[in-house]
Chain A
């Protein structure tokens, strides 16, 4: 049931990238100027060597040559100094731009509409946060500065060549047909093949991860041979994909080599002829020949990065795409009159024309306990999410004190009704960090009270650093039951008057579930509760039971009424009580 999150199209990608660039315009201009200066200083070597050669041929005094060498030393020192600042400025700018990009991304992600988060699942978002951000990071931090360096070096070298001797420099043009042809051929094929290649590696990593994490299942079902065959198939796929990209490079590499080999030779031949005619000096030919070879480095760098940037663009589109999700609620300034929750004619369809809920009416008395039972797929959880204001219903409305839930600002909504699901998650940080999510200003005492209410104060105090103990990935490991207790303590701090429980403990190991019984009792105290339940004793003890089947409430009433009525609920109850 996961739907894919949007991916930015080319136009959005351009607009957003341009906006990002504009915000750092001064940085970019400064960096480009410094890099150009460094590239300029780097041109001195071949130029001065040419002068020295001419000097030697012309029989200049040693002092003149020394002067040229002195200029070279100055140029080298100047280049080193500008390189230092240019590189530093580039990397600092890369860090700044990338920091801004990722912070913006996380901000967008954490404000995604509730319904989108519920529907999309976390897999896609996690991969955008880790893989895609990582892939873009390399390009922004190193790629863009390197591209600027390469481009300015190439441009300045060409200009220098033309200045030294434009006629000799004409020989450089012989590089273009092969270079342009080969690079275009390569770039057109590279991106999809490299993406396939990295997908093959990711698949192998995924298979391996599953084999490790599912070691117990592999053992129990004797799947070792199967898993091994899968691993080998993944390796074969990697070899196939690697071979495809290798083929590309095996064409590109010699072609680019020859694209430089040809002009190197042509410069000498053409320059030799020009020199023999007295049009140019030997020194000038030398300088141009050396410049030709010097061009090779930046051209290679440019090809490499254009390739990388193509791949990174795909990731960038996925990062920017998240900001395209439209909000699903519009807050108005209506104020709920009381805590009375009512659902009227609620309908919902995940896909258009395929409604899951068909006009549900429900009136919740304040302080009431309602159990919702029914077969899986009946729409119980969907209805629960409507009641909690997570999804706006497709038709009908859910109101609290007369105000539709989706008209409440999110902060207010949470004070009215909260949804507790089987999912629990311990965030990286301290226990206190985890609790303060619900109330940022909570004092230590309030937190202690919340923990006490869910019977968790004891073990939290026993942690190495109590409330300040680091938990979550890499920290102190909590049992699923403890994690759920923390989640319940958060609810106490959040203090909504209505709770929707959607199988809050169903994924917890039965061995640990007992600990949670009284914890829940502490949270439910004094609140209206809607419990989506499959355990019939839950229904047995509730004030009312609603049986949901096929997207409708088919029966509603107290346990005893329903048993007496002899409907579906009664049948199930009897079979459960089959002693």
Chain B
């Protein structure tokens, strides 16, 4: 019953903070009941201690060192043992309640995120999504961790009031009314304190941003100077945080002071009244000690009550943020798909652009506007079912008709800036492996992507760890690793968008040669403008705007362009070939015109051909 984690089922309420909190509670009723039960026992053992002490003084000490004293000491020891044992188990229950609610919510969020893909990034800012796991889920969970203590305190409050009432009605009434009154007075200070704390947090957040921003840009900063400007800015904000902190200190110390003063005066009042009763013989001295104990103990339910309210308030805000994420639905769904199989081989056709790729060929897609060719690639991967353009077909079957998992199995689109994930390099490369990755296959794919040098950059090579987002690799290395990963999927149709944009010409040439060979017999579409890759393609397709304008081989189109330049070829084929040549070779042709003064030959106008740094 006290296990620390139980995943939540999907379909949590996505509307209404109260409904979500209730739903989470309903997932673990037994545990929460246990928390409350332990909490009550815990509160009672504390609340009853003054009573026992009082009886030990009156019945025990008052009657000398004898059996009465021993009895009460035994009772007291028993209560301590119960308290200690119950404390240990109740702590476990509270932690379990917290973890289950927190990790259950995290699990829900994680499943939503992995399911919803891009659509989440378009609806909720990334920072807010990340905050749901980092801070909202733990805040929601606090409600359940605190439930036991909260209820226990309330019960103890009533019990203590009842005990006092039985000794002295006025004292009982004073406690029943006095405690809520003190709580109310303290709440008056809590509000301005929270405001100042919020301001302090905000200023501190700015400072942290400034600090991490400075450090993130440190290489740039150190290259051009401006460190003094930055440290001065940081110091200025740091002082602002300090001043906000001093303002918090002012209010906080008043609250601390009131938390001493109000219960202290209440205590003095109880003693004053109790002492008179004791002198009058209406109560025993021990009972007076018990009164003192109760009055001192009652600060516990007091702080529990105020804490409970603020925990609940924060949790409701956190739930609203979590629900914003949970409600997001993916842009693709299997609704309306049939169980029709997707053929392994067949023409790949995109009706919107007029692109048709014969099975097993290596086709390059060239466009003056890289957005247009990227759009075709996106369509081939079926990322958005709401796209009004007609669905591409594979072997005559519309991709949108087939369950998504089947499409993903057959067609893989690797985009220009794919993300690398943390983990063991071999596993992160061979993402389709069901068991341990086949290291020979992985090494072969790395060889095709000319990424063998990565093994030297990652300690322990294939068995080593790839750091967050592949941070320890250079831009070009990351791109080649991502290419190897895409190759390892061995998809029947592989679409690669600018796979070599950050790779130097030497390397690009080698990749282009081995890529074609490695994909022999399977369909490959590469979006690129690099002559080194185009030269190796079976067919080159030129897009003009959203539509296919010309097709041929790199060689034939370049040849046509030359003929057109000599006037041997005219009409649309000539115009298309010239356009093609301009895209592919534009910089060599155009550089005198594009770079004024002709002194600027060393400019680097086309990053599509760019390389990498160590």
Interface stretch (choices A12-20, A188-196, A396-404, A510-518)? A510-518
Could you say which residues of chain B place their CB within 8 Å of the CB of A269? 69-70, 73
Q: Are A377 and B110 in contact (CB under 8 A)?
A: no
Interface stretch (choices B20-28, B114-122, B168-176, B344-352)? B114-122
Cβ-based interface call for B436 (8 A): no
Cβ-based interface call for B604 (8 A): yes
Q: Are A239 and B49 in contact (CB under 8 A)?
A: no
| Chain A interface, DSSP helix/strand/loop, else mixed | helix
Q: In B249-270, which residues have CB < 8 Å from any A CB?
A: 249-250, 252-254, 256-258, 260-261, 264-265, 267-268
Query: A269 CA to B558 CA in the complex, in Å?
Result: 105
Q: Which of B218, B233, B413, B600 contacts A220 (CB 8 A)?
A: B413
A559 to chain B: closest residue by CB: B601
Cβ-based interface call for A43 (8 A): no
Q: Are A501 and B604 in contact (CB under 8 A)?
A: yes
Q: Which of A76, A218, A377 contacts B453 (CB 8 A)?
A: A377
Interface stretch (choices A303-311, A378-386, A457-465)? A378-386
| Chain B interface, DSSP helix/strand/loop, else mixed | helix
Minimum CB–CB distance from A158 to chain B (whole Å) comes to: 19
Q: In A477-526, which residues have CB < 8 Å from any B CB?
A: 487, 490-491, 494, 501-511, 513-514, 516-518, 520-521, 524-525
Q: Are B215 and A525 in contact (CB under 8 A)?
A: no
Q: In B101-122, which residues have CB < 8 Å from any A CB?
A: 103, 106-107, 109-111, 113-118, 120-121
Cβ-based interface call for B1 (8 A): no
Q: Are B416 and A509 in contact (CB under 8 A)?
A: yes
Q: Are B614 and A507 in contact (CB under 8 A)?
A: no
Could you say which residues of chain B place their CB within 8 Å of the CB of A575? 509, 532, 535
Cβ-based interface call for B336 (8 A): no
Cβ-based interface call for B130 (8 A): yes
Q: Which of A48, A236, A494, A524 contacts B602 (CB 8 A)?
A: A524
Could you say which residues of chain A place their CB within 8 Å of the CB of B73? 265, 268-269, 272
Q: Are B416 and A208 in contact (CB under 8 A)?
A: no
Query: A211 CA to B106 CA in the complex, in Å?
Result: 13
Minimum CB–CB distance from B223 to chain A (whole Å) comes to: 5
Q: In B565-614, which residues have CB < 8 Å from any A CB?
A: 585, 587-588, 591, 594-597, 599-614
B276 to chain A: closest residue by CB: A62
Cβ-based interface call for B213 (8 A): yes
Q: Are A72 and B268 in contact (CB under 8 A)?
A: yes
Cβ-based interface call for B37 (8 A): no
Q: Are B601 and A425 in contact (CB under 8 A)?
A: no
Cβ-based interface call for B217 (8 A): yes
Minimum CB–CB distance from A84 to chain B (whole Å) comes to: 4
Q: Are A106 and B234 in contact (CB under 8 A)?
A: yes
Write out, one digit per residue, whether chain B residues 63-74 have a CB within 8 A of any chain A CB (1) or not (0).
Answer: 011000110110
Assuming A56-B279, A125-B218, A473-B209, is B588 touching A228 (CB within 8 A)? no
B245 to chain A: closest residue by CB: A95
Could you say which residues of chain A place their CB within 8 Å of the CB of B321? none
Query: A114 CA to B81 CA in the complex, in Å?
Result: 62
Q: Which of B99, B501, B595 contacts A517 (CB 8 A)?
A: B595
Could you say which residues of chain B place their CB within 8 Å of the CB of A506? 475-476, 501-502, 604, 607, 610-612
Minimum CB–CB distance from B301 to chain A (whole Å) comes to: 16
Q: In A514-546, which residues have CB < 8 Å from any B CB?
A: 514, 516-518, 520-521, 524-525, 529, 531-538, 540-543
Interface stretch (choices A159-167, A416-424, A443-451)? A416-424
Minimum CB–CB distance from A525 to chain B (whole Å) comes to: 7
Query: A52 CA to B260 CA in the complex, in Å?
Result: 21
Cβ-based interface call for B437 (8 A): no
B76 to chain A: closest residue by CB: A265
Q: Are B505 and A109 in contact (CB under 8 A)?
A: no
Query: A45 CA to B271 CA in the complex, in Å?
Result: 10
Cβ-based interface call for A436 (8 A): yes
Q: Are A258 and B81 in contact (CB under 8 A)?
A: yes
Interface size class of B (residues with CB under 8 A): 35 or more
Q: Are A473 and B213 in contact (CB under 8 A)?
A: yes
Interface stretch (choices B85-93, B150-158, B180-188, B390-398)? B85-93
Q: Are B409 and A474 in contact (CB under 8 A)?
A: no
Could you say which residues of chain A place their CB within 8 Å of the CB of B4? 239, 242-243, 246
Q: In B178-232, which residues have CB < 8 Å from any A CB?
A: 207-231
Could you say which residues of chain A place their CB within 8 Å of the CB of B585? 579
Write out, one digit per residue, whether chain A residues 268-303 have a CB within 8 A of any chain B CB (1) or not (0).
Answer: 110111011000001001100110010000000000
Q: Which of B87, B222, B285 contacts A56 (CB 8 A)?
A: B285
Cβ-based interface call for B468 (8 A): yes
Could you say which residues of chain A place their CB within 8 Å of the CB of B502? 506-507
Q: Are B219 and A521 in contact (CB under 8 A)?
A: no
Q: Which of A79, A99, A503 contacts B264 (CB 8 A)?
A: A79
Q: Are A130 and B211 in contact (CB under 8 A)?
A: yes
Minimum CB–CB distance from A146 to chain B (whole Å) comes to: 11
Interface stretch (choices A22-30, A247-255, A339-347)? A247-255
Interface stretch (choices B54-62, B159-167, B303-311, B515-523)? B54-62
Q: Which of A53, A219, A369 contacts B289 (CB 8 A)?
A: A53
A-B contact pairs, 12 of them (CB 8 A): A79-B261, A87-B249, A103-B234, A109-B214, A232-B7, A272-B73, A275-B65, A286-B285, A373-B504, A418-B224, A507-B610, A579-B531
17 extra A-B contacts, CB within 8 A, seeds A87-B253, A377-B614: A84-B253, A92-B249, A109-B215, A123-B471, A208-B110, A218-B117, A222-B405, A228-B110, A261-B81, A268-B61, A272-B61, A289-B53, A376-B611, A506-B501, A506-B610, A509-B607, A536-B505
